Amino acid sequence: MKIRGLRIELGEIENTIREYPGITDCVALVKKYSENIILIIAYVVCKSDLKVDGLKGYLKKHLPDYMIPNHFERIDEMPLTPSGKADRKALPEPVIEVRSS
């Protein structure tokens, strides 16, 4: 998948996040809200309280900046399809705060 001409590997993002301590599962996807607003969202299932700053720091060491998710959404468990794969369509809509300057 490409965003603004840059190749985004969602599987690589997911695998790198899963390597972080305390993360049990992850799904990354791209949400296009408008022509100019395209975000990488990471849904994470974690064992304990996740420190997003720590996770972002870890990802910066392992992924290019343009592949670091814009938003992390914590979920209690990953919804699954009948075949046992992550059901991306059943993931909740992310809650994203819009900050005005």
pLDDT band at 101 (very low <50, low <70, confident <90, very high): low
Residue whose structure tokens are 């996807």: 29
Asked whether residue 18 is domain-assigned, the answer is yes
Asked whether residue 75 is domain-assigned, the answer is yes
Distance CA 39, CA 25 (A): 20
Share of the chain above pLDDT 70, in %: 96
Asked whether residue 58 is domain-assigned, the answer is yes
Res 100: pLDDT: 57
Q: pTM above 0.75?
A: yes
Asked whether residue 81 is domain-assigned, the answer is yes
Give the CATH number, domain containing residue 30: 3.30.300.30
Total domains present in the chain: 1
Question: Going by C-beta distance under 8 Å and a sequence separation of 6 or more, which residues neighbour residue 50?
Answer: 22, 23, 44, 72, 74
Domain that holds residue 6: 2-90
Asked whether residue 96 is domain-assigned, the answer is no
Of the chain, the end-to-end C-alpha distance in Å amounts to 31
CA separation, residue 65 to residues 32, 80, 97 (Å): 19, 30, 21
96 pLDDT more than 90: no
Distance CA 44, CA 47 (A): 10
